[in-house]
Amino acid sequence: MATHPERVVLTYADYLELHDDRMRYQLLEGELDVTPAPSTNLLVILDLYVRRGRLGTVFVAPCDVVLNDNNVVQPDLLFVSRERAAIIERACVRGAPDLIVEVLSPRTERTDREIKWQIYARYGVAHYWLIDPDRREATALVLEAGGYRQAVVAQGGETFAAPPFADLAIPLADVWAGDGAGEVVEA
Protein backbone atom coordinates (compact mmCIF):
# COMPACT_ATOMS: atom_id res chain seq x y z
CA MET A 1 0.00 0.00 0.00
CA ALA A 2 1.50 3.30 -1.10
CA THR A 3 1.58 6.18 1.29
CA HIS A 4 1.27 9.75 0.18
CA PRO A 5 3.43 12.34 1.83
CA GLU A 6 1.54 15.06 3.66
CA ARG A 7 1.36 18.40 1.91
CA VAL A 8 3.78 20.85 3.49
CA VAL A 9 2.28 24.30 3.94
CA LEU A 10 4.99 26.94 3.82
CA THR A 11 4.83 30.18 5.79
CA TYR A 12 6.36 33.61 5.37
CA ALA A 13 9.13 32.57 7.79
CA ASP A 14 9.97 29.61 5.48
CA TYR A 15 9.86 31.93 2.49
CA LEU A 16 12.40 34.28 4.08
CA GLU A 17 14.82 31.36 4.42
CA LEU A 18 14.98 30.79 0.65
CA HIS A 19 18.32 31.54 -0.97
CA ASP A 20 18.61 34.58 -3.21
CA ASP A 21 19.26 32.91 -6.56
CA ARG A 22 17.60 35.65 -8.66
CA MET A 23 14.51 33.52 -9.19
CA ARG A 24 11.12 35.02 -8.36
CA TYR A 25 9.38 33.10 -5.60
CA GLN A 26 5.83 33.43 -4.29
CA LEU A 27 3.71 31.59 -1.73
CA LEU A 28 0.22 30.79 -3.00
CA GLU A 29 -1.91 29.15 -0.32
CA GLY A 30 1.29 27.92 1.32
CA GLU A 31 2.75 26.37 -1.86
CA LEU A 32 5.96 27.63 -3.45
CA ASP A 33 5.58 29.06 -6.96
CA VAL A 34 8.51 30.13 -9.17
CA THR A 35 7.96 32.56 -12.05
CA PRO A 36 10.12 34.49 -14.51
CA ALA A 37 10.78 38.19 -14.01
CA PRO A 38 8.40 40.55 -15.84
CA SER A 39 9.17 42.81 -18.75
CA THR A 40 6.78 45.62 -19.62
CA ASN A 41 6.64 49.23 -20.73
CA LEU A 42 3.57 49.69 -18.58
CA LEU A 43 5.82 50.33 -15.57
CA VAL A 44 7.39 53.37 -17.21
CA ILE A 45 4.02 54.85 -18.14
CA LEU A 46 2.29 54.17 -14.82
CA ASP A 47 5.25 55.21 -12.68
CA LEU A 48 5.58 58.55 -14.47
CA TYR A 49 1.85 59.24 -14.06
CA VAL A 50 1.85 58.35 -10.35
CA ARG A 51 4.96 60.45 -9.66
CA ARG A 52 3.62 63.48 -11.53
CA GLY A 53 0.44 63.43 -9.48
CA ARG A 54 2.18 62.42 -6.23
CA LEU A 55 -0.45 59.73 -5.90
CA GLY A 56 1.59 57.06 -4.16
CA THR A 57 4.24 54.49 -5.02
CA VAL A 58 4.61 52.04 -7.90
CA PHE A 59 6.66 48.88 -7.37
CA VAL A 60 7.84 46.33 -9.90
CA ALA A 61 8.79 42.72 -9.17
CA PRO A 62 10.56 41.52 -7.22
CA CYS A 63 8.64 43.13 -4.38
CA ASP A 64 7.09 40.93 -1.72
CA VAL A 65 3.44 41.54 -0.92
CA VAL A 66 2.54 39.72 2.28
CA LEU A 67 -1.22 39.16 2.29
CA ASN A 68 -1.03 36.66 5.13
CA ASP A 69 1.47 34.11 6.43
CA ASN A 70 0.73 31.64 3.60
CA ASN A 71 0.21 34.09 0.72
CA VAL A 72 3.28 36.08 -0.28
CA VAL A 73 3.11 37.28 -3.88
CA GLN A 74 5.39 39.18 -6.21
CA PRO A 75 3.07 40.86 -8.70
CA ASP A 76 4.59 42.17 -11.90
CA LEU A 77 3.57 45.66 -10.87
CA LEU A 78 1.70 47.16 -7.92
CA PHE A 79 0.53 50.54 -6.68
CA VAL A 80 0.03 51.72 -3.11
CA SER A 81 -1.76 55.06 -2.74
CA ARG A 82 -0.29 57.84 -0.63
CA GLU A 83 -3.20 57.44 1.80
CA ARG A 84 -2.29 53.79 2.40
CA ALA A 85 1.50 54.19 2.53
CA ALA A 86 1.58 52.71 6.05
CA ILE A 87 1.43 49.20 4.52
CA ILE A 88 4.85 49.77 2.92
CA GLU A 89 7.59 48.33 5.10
CA ARG A 90 11.33 48.21 4.57
CA ALA A 91 11.32 44.61 3.27
CA CYS A 92 7.81 44.23 1.86
CA VAL A 93 4.31 45.56 1.36
CA ARG A 94 2.21 44.10 4.18
CA GLY A 95 -1.42 44.08 3.11
CA ALA A 96 -3.42 44.55 -0.07
CA PRO A 97 -2.11 47.17 -2.52
CA ASP A 98 -4.63 49.45 -4.22
CA LEU A 99 -3.74 47.96 -7.62
CA ILE A 100 -1.99 44.81 -8.76
CA VAL A 101 -0.99 44.31 -12.40
CA GLU A 102 -0.05 40.91 -13.77
CA VAL A 103 1.48 40.52 -17.24
CA LEU A 104 0.28 37.18 -18.56
CA SER A 105 2.48 34.60 -20.24
CA PRO A 106 1.67 31.02 -21.24
CA ARG A 107 3.48 29.91 -18.06
CA THR A 108 1.63 32.27 -15.66
CA GLU A 109 -1.81 32.68 -17.26
CA ARG A 110 -3.63 29.99 -15.24
CA THR A 111 -2.07 31.18 -11.98
CA ASP A 112 -2.89 34.84 -12.69
CA ARG A 113 -6.43 34.25 -14.01
CA GLU A 114 -7.51 31.66 -11.43
CA ILE A 115 -5.38 31.23 -8.32
CA LYS A 116 -4.16 34.80 -7.82
CA TRP A 117 -7.55 36.19 -8.93
CA GLN A 118 -9.19 34.42 -5.98
CA ILE A 119 -6.43 35.26 -3.51
CA TYR A 120 -6.38 38.95 -4.47
CA ALA A 121 -10.17 39.20 -4.14
CA ARG A 122 -10.16 37.45 -0.76
CA TYR A 123 -7.52 39.81 0.67
CA GLY A 124 -9.10 42.99 -0.68
CA VAL A 125 -7.03 44.10 -3.68
CA ALA A 126 -9.44 46.74 -5.02
CA HIS A 127 -8.13 46.87 -8.59
CA TYR A 128 -6.59 44.04 -10.61
CA TRP A 129 -5.30 44.51 -14.16
CA LEU A 130 -4.42 41.61 -16.46
CA ILE A 131 -2.14 42.52 -19.36
CA ASP A 132 -1.97 39.88 -22.10
CA PRO A 133 0.79 40.64 -24.65
CA ASP A 134 -0.03 37.55 -26.77
CA ARG A 135 -3.66 38.60 -27.22
CA ARG A 136 -2.76 42.31 -27.16
CA GLU A 137 -5.41 42.81 -24.50
CA ALA A 138 -5.64 44.74 -21.21
CA THR A 139 -8.41 43.96 -18.72
CA ALA A 140 -9.26 45.97 -15.60
CA LEU A 141 -11.16 44.31 -12.77
CA VAL A 142 -12.77 46.10 -9.83
CA LEU A 143 -13.48 44.37 -6.52
CA GLU A 144 -17.11 44.41 -5.44
CA ALA A 145 -19.01 42.49 -2.75
CA GLY A 146 -19.29 39.30 -4.82
CA GLY A 147 -15.77 39.35 -6.24
CA TYR A 148 -14.18 41.00 -9.26
CA ARG A 149 -16.24 42.73 -11.93
CA GLN A 150 -14.75 43.39 -15.35
CA ALA A 151 -14.65 47.18 -15.69
CA VAL A 152 -12.65 47.79 -18.88
CA VAL A 153 -11.21 45.72 -21.72
CA ALA A 154 -9.02 47.32 -24.39
CA GLN A 155 -7.30 45.58 -27.29
CA GLY A 156 -4.70 46.10 -29.97
CA GLY A 157 -3.78 49.76 -30.33
CA GLU A 158 -6.71 51.09 -28.30
CA THR A 159 -6.29 53.35 -25.32
CA PHE A 160 -6.65 51.77 -21.88
CA ALA A 161 -8.25 54.03 -19.24
CA ALA A 162 -9.18 52.10 -16.11
CA PRO A 163 -9.80 52.47 -12.40
CA PRO A 164 -8.17 53.58 -10.18
CA PHE A 165 -6.60 55.90 -12.80
CA ALA A 166 -9.57 56.65 -15.08
CA ASP A 167 -8.00 59.95 -16.18
CA LEU A 168 -4.84 58.14 -17.37
CA ALA A 169 -5.11 57.02 -20.98
CA ILE A 170 -2.47 54.38 -21.73
CA PRO A 171 -1.83 53.87 -25.45
CA LEU A 172 -1.57 50.08 -25.68
CA ALA A 173 0.62 50.40 -28.76
CA ASP A 174 3.30 51.79 -26.41
CA VAL A 175 2.86 48.87 -24.03
CA TRP A 176 3.26 46.31 -26.83
CA ALA A 177 6.17 48.18 -28.47
CA GLY A 178 8.87 46.74 -26.21
CA ASP A 179 11.22 49.69 -26.66
CA GLY A 180 10.86 51.26 -23.22
CA ALA A 181 9.23 54.36 -24.68
CA GLY A 182 5.90 55.43 -23.42
CA GLU A 183 3.89 58.57 -23.02
CA VAL A 184 1.55 59.61 -20.31
CA VAL A 185 -1.65 60.86 -21.90
CA GLU A 186 -4.17 62.37 -19.53
CA ALA A 187 -7.76 61.93 -20.64
Question: For 116-149, how does the pLDDT look when each residue is reduced to its tens digit (9 = 90+)?
Answer: 999 999 999 999 999 998 899 999 999 999 799 9
What CATH number should be reported for the domain holding residue 176? 3.90.1570.10
* Residue 56 belongs to a domain: yes
* Residue 2 belongs to a domain: no
pLDDT at 105: 85
Q: Write the pLDDT tens digit of every residue in 97-121.
A: 999 999 888 888 999 999 999 999 9
* Residue 163 belongs to a domain: yes
Q: How many domains does the chain have?
A: 1
Write the CB contacts of 137 (distance below 8 Å, at least 6 apart in sequence): 131, 153, 154, 155
* Residue 37 belongs to a domain: yes
**Could you list the residue range(s) of the whole structural domain that residue 177 is in?**
12-186
* Residue 113 belongs to a domain: yes
* Residue 7 belongs to a domain: no
